[in-house]
Amino acid sequence: MPLRTHPKHGYEINELPDANEIRAALERCKLLASRKDIRTTFHPDQFVVLNSTKPEVVASSLSELEHHGEIAELVGADVINVHAGGVYGDKEAALDRLVSGINCLSTQVRNRLTLENDDKCYTPLDLLPLCWREQIPLVYDVHHHRCFPDGFTIRETTEMAITTWNREPLLHISSPILGWKGPTPERHHDFVDAGDFPADWLALPITVEIEAKAKELAVQRLVNELGGRPKKRSRFGHNDP
């Protein structure tokens, strides 16, 4: 929905002349996903920063998340995933602002909101106390954790991340485009190296979201290289700009 949250040209769905048709189409998406056992999630762009020191950025972030919450409700998505934001020279204060921003969200968004560790600012260890305290699931990104470690192993972090979920856990996997010894290991490859996939994940009833530029092709290649779909109820999907 172009310009949906633009400060000057934004609009509500009900203001559109074909609002009923739009809602009906999204309802069909919801029913189809349910029948096919497809999990739908949202990952808003990097300009959503709930702990920004600029009030106007926080306000626009809240608006964007409420828009995502509205569409998530219509299509049955259960995850709206965001990064914690910046550190701004004081990580504890930044996390406090993050909580304040989260507490401004509607129940519709808050019940779907998840936090993801990143490759520069916040490790799983930084976010887990907040996730437990505020009852917000952690989307554990193992690629980011490898780029920005915190002393915990992948197995330990996976186990802790899973405890933050009240529904099927969601985890992220990707591989570096120039390899782990390249100059930019944080950049995503078109595909995922099967060797980067944690063996412990194969037996878990989780959703693994693959962040790779080749999207469905990357998913299929990885599943094939892992020996086909795991016997337990693990599922794979993709998410990458």
d(CA 120, CA 86): 9
Tens digit of pLDDT for each residue in 136-170?
999 999 999 999 999 999 999 999 999 999 999 99
Strand ranges, E, within the chain: 41-42, 79-83, 113-116, 138-141, 170-173, 207-210, 235-238
Check if the beta carbon of residue 4 is closer than 8 Å to that of residue 11.
yes
Length of the chain counted residue by residue:
241
Q: What is the pLDDT of residue 173?
A: 97
Distance CA 183, CA 180 (A): 8
Domains observed in the chain: 1-114 (3.20.20.150), 117-241 (3.20.20.150)
In angstroms, the CA 186 to CA 175 distance is 8
Q: Which residues pair with 80 in a beta bridge?
A: 42, 113
pLDDT for res 54:
97
More confident residue, 201 or 237: 201
- Residues 193 and 197: their CA atoms lie apart, in Å, by 7
196 burial (CB, 10 Å; 0-12 / 13-18 / 19+) is: middle
Q: Predicted confidence band at 1 (pLDDT cuts at 50, 70, 90)?
A: confident
| pLDDT tens-digit map of 41-92 | 999 989 999 999 999 999 999 999 999 999 999 999 999 999 999 999 999 9
Tell me what pLDDT residue 229 has. 56
Residue 211 has pLDDT above 90, yes or no: yes
pLDDT computed for residue 78 by the predictor: 97
* Mean pLDDT taken over the chain: 94
Tell me the C-alpha distance between 109 and 169, whole Å.
Answer: 18
Paired strand residues for 53: none
0.85 surpassed by pTM: yes
Span 190-210, pLDDT tens digits: 999 999 999 999 989 999 999
